[in-house]
Amino acid sequence: MKMRKTLVAAALGMALLQLQGCVPLVATGAGAGVLMATDRRTSGTYIEDQEIELRTANRIREAYPADIVHTDVASFNRTVLLIGEVPDEATKQKINDIAKNVTNVHSVFNEITVGAPTTLSTRTNDAYITTKVKSRFVDAKRFPITVVKVTTENGVVYLMGMVTEQEAADAAEIASTTSGVEKVVKLFEYVVLVPDAGK
């Protein structure tokens, strides 16, 4: 009986690996399952967003050396955010085209700036700001934290997600009052929540 369960588990694992778009789920394990359970995206869209980020970042790296461009990619509900620094407008446009041509991408917000790449200390501070904003979301308990994606570049906080208007206002207010934040950019998709008929 134990051997049969092991074989079934192995077969299921192989089937999952063969399904297009399921590798990130297998690779990220149970933690991703918990996040997906509280996310307003479907599990398929959640996985597609991870794939979009990975594919876009890889294609940008293949096209441009890291010492010439610095970019980060975020995707939420198939909407891509591009941030970072590039040497000229032509490069910014080419990176935009790269993102638009990735499978399953519906739209692109190109917030890349033309200029010198940020320093390591700036990037470290940006990561710290992102952590502080997320922590304040948790402390405030105004909305499920999985519905808002936070990305920071050079002190500017970008907020993405599927939220109500009130949740958007709350998230922006919390982020804008976090120390170190220079500016908040809202890139939300607005939803109307329907009350559960069973309650």
Interval 42-64: pLDDT, tens: 999 999 999 999 999 999 999 99
Is residue 6 a part of any domain in this protein?
yes
Is residue 113 a part of any domain in this protein?
no
pLDDT of the residue at 199 = 53
pLDDT of the residue at 56 = 98
Q: DSSP readout, 137-167?
A: HHHHTSS-GGGEEEEEETTEEEEEEEE-HHH
Q: What is the CATH number of the domain that holds 150?
A: 3.30.1340.30
Is residue 43 a part of any domain in this protein?
no
pLDDT of the residue at 64 = 95
> Which residues touch 155 (CB under 8 Å, ≥6 apart)?
125, 126, 129, 180, 181, 182, 183
What is the band of 136 on the pLDDT scale with cuts at 50, 70, 90? very high
What is the band of 187 on the pLDDT scale with cuts at 50, 70, 90? very high
Other C-beta atoms closer than 10 Å to the C-beta of 61 total 12
Is residue 96 a part of any domain in this protein?
no
Is residue 11 a part of any domain in this protein?
yes
Is residue 138 a part of any domain in this protein?
yes
pLDDT of the residue at 194 = 79
Report yes or no: 167 and 120 within 8 Å, Cβ to Cβ. Answer: no
Average pLDDT over residues 106-110: 98
The CA distance from 171 to 190, in Å, is 13
pLDDT of the residue at 37 = 56
- Between 24 and 166, name the one with better pLDDT: 166
- For the chain, how many structural domains are there in total? 2
The number of C-alpha atoms within 13 Å of 54 and in the hemisphere containing its C-beta is 10
What is the band of 18 on the pLDDT scale with cuts at 50, 70, 90? very low
Average pLDDT over residues 2-6: 39
Is residue 57 a part of any domain in this protein?
no
- Domain that residue 9 falls in: 2-37
What is the band of 67 on the pLDDT scale with cuts at 50, 70, 90? confident
Question: Judging by DSSP bridges, how do beta strands 113-114 and 79-86 pair with one another?
Answer: parallel
What is the band of 195 on the pLDDT scale with cuts at 50, 70, 90? confident
Is residue 58 a part of any domain in this protein?
no
What is the band of 4 on the pLDDT scale with cuts at 50, 70, 90? very low
The CA distance from 42 to 4, in Å, is 32
